[in-house]
Structure 1
Amino acid sequence: MAGAGQAIGLYGGSFNPPHEGHLLVAERAIKRLSLDAVWWLVTPGNPLKDHGELRPLSDRLDAVRDLARGPQHRATAFEAAYHVRYTADTIRIARQRVPHGNFVWIMGADSLTSFHRWQDWQTIAETVPIAVVDRPGDTLSTLSSKFAIRYERFRIPEHEAGTLAFRPAPAWTFLHGTRTAMSSTALRDKR
Structure 2
Amino acid sequence: MQGWPIAERGMVIGLLGGSFDPAHAGHVHITHEALVRFGLDRVWWLVSPGNPLKARGPRPMDERLERARALMQDPRVQVTDLEARLGTRYTAATLRALTRRYPGVRFVWLMGADNLVQFHQWDDWRWIMQNVRIGVLARPGWGAKARLGHAARAFRAEQVPPRQLAGASLPAWAFADMPMVNQSSSAIRARGEWG
What band does the TM-score fall into relative to the shorter chain? over 0.9
Equivalenced residues, count: 187
The one of 146, 149, 168 equivalent to 2:150 is: 146
- Tell me whether 1:6 sits opposite 2:7 in the alignment: no
Which residue in the other structure is 2:185 paired with? 184
> Matched residues in 2 for 1:153 and 1:10: separation?
23
The one of 18, 22, 25 equivalent to 2:27 is: 22
Contact 1:8 1:165 in 2 (8 A): no
> Matched residues in 2 for 1:150 and 1:63: separation?
37
Alignment of 1:1-191 (within 5 A): 1-52=6-57, 54-157=58-161, 161-191=162-192
After TM superposition, which residue ranges in structure 1, 4 or more long, deviate above 4 angstroms?
A: none
Name the stretch that deviates more: 134-143 or 162-171. 162-171
What SS class does the counterpart of residue 109 from structure 2 fall into? strand
Offset at residue 163 of structure 1 (A): 2.8
TM-score scaled by structure 1?
Answer: 0.95
Offset at residue 51 of structure 1 (A): 2.3
Ranges in structure 1 where 5+ consecutive residues have no aligned partner: none
What SS class does the counterpart of residue 2 from structure 1 fall into? coil
> Matched residues in 1 for 2:100 and 2:136: separation?
24
Query: What CA deviation, in whole Å up to 9, does each residue of 1:69-119 have, x standing for no partner?
Result: 121101111111010111111111111111011110000011111101100
> Matched residues in 1 for 2:96 and 2:48: separation?
16
Offset at residue 4 of structure 1 (A): 1.4
> Matched residues in 2 for 1:181 and 1:166: separation?
30
Offset at residue 162 of structure 1 (A): 2.6
Contact 1:88 1:119 in 2 (8 A): yes
Query: What CA deviation, in whole Å up to 9, does each residue of 1:45-67 have, x standing for no partner?
Result: 00001224x11111111111111
> Matched residues in 2 for 1:11 and 1:189: separation?
23
What SS class does the counterpart of residue 44 from structure 2 fall into? strand
What SS class does the counterpart of residue 126 from structure 1 fall into? helix
Contact 1:129 1:172 in 2 (8 A): yes
What SS class does the counterpart of residue 3 from structure 1 fall into? coil
> Matched residues in 2 for 1:109 and 1:182: separation?
14
